[in-house]
Amino acid sequence: MEKAEKLLKRLPLLDIVELREQWYLHFNRDVEINMSSKLLRLAIGYRIQELEFEASDRCDAIRHLASLQSDQIEQKGYGYAQRMKPGTKLLREYRGKIHEVQAIDYGRFVYVGQVFKSLSAVARKITGTPRSGAVFFGLRAKRRMGLNG
């Protein structure tokens, strides 16, 4: 992989094919077909810096601050939160803005410095309306109603 600083400077100039190649190099898997180039650039840039500056310490600090903010440490998340490893980051582009959520201990999530015990609560905060967090963040497909119900 080329030096982080050089690649970060080149990132805005890369076309979608080059972005997909960089994604594979940095995440060791293929990119989702529907990710915009804007979101790809943001995620790749974040990953480059994460690797370059060993961001695991930052993740630990975020988890610690979130645990201090929580009213009760025993308050656990549920649903997808229980299966997600602490430190997992979710990115979602919504109305032209990129939203980043991080899974923390006890199956909870941090979004803009606030702790939530479900992805649905985060999705509600972002959109202003109740919705499934798993669907909003692309972890589960939207259910389609058929003719028979």
| 3 CB-near residues (< 8 Å, 6+ apart) | none
Alpha helices in the chain (DSSP H): 4-10, 16-27, 37-52, 56-69, 80-83, 119-127, 133-136
Are 82 and 107 within 8 A, CB to CB? yes
pTM: 0.52
pLDDT tens column, 69-118: 554 444 455 555 556 778 888 888 899 888 999 888 777 888 988 888 88
Q: Which helix (H) or strand (E) holds 142?
A: none
pLDDT tens column, 117-135: 888 999 999 999 999 888 8
Are 84 and 132 within 8 A, CB to CB? no
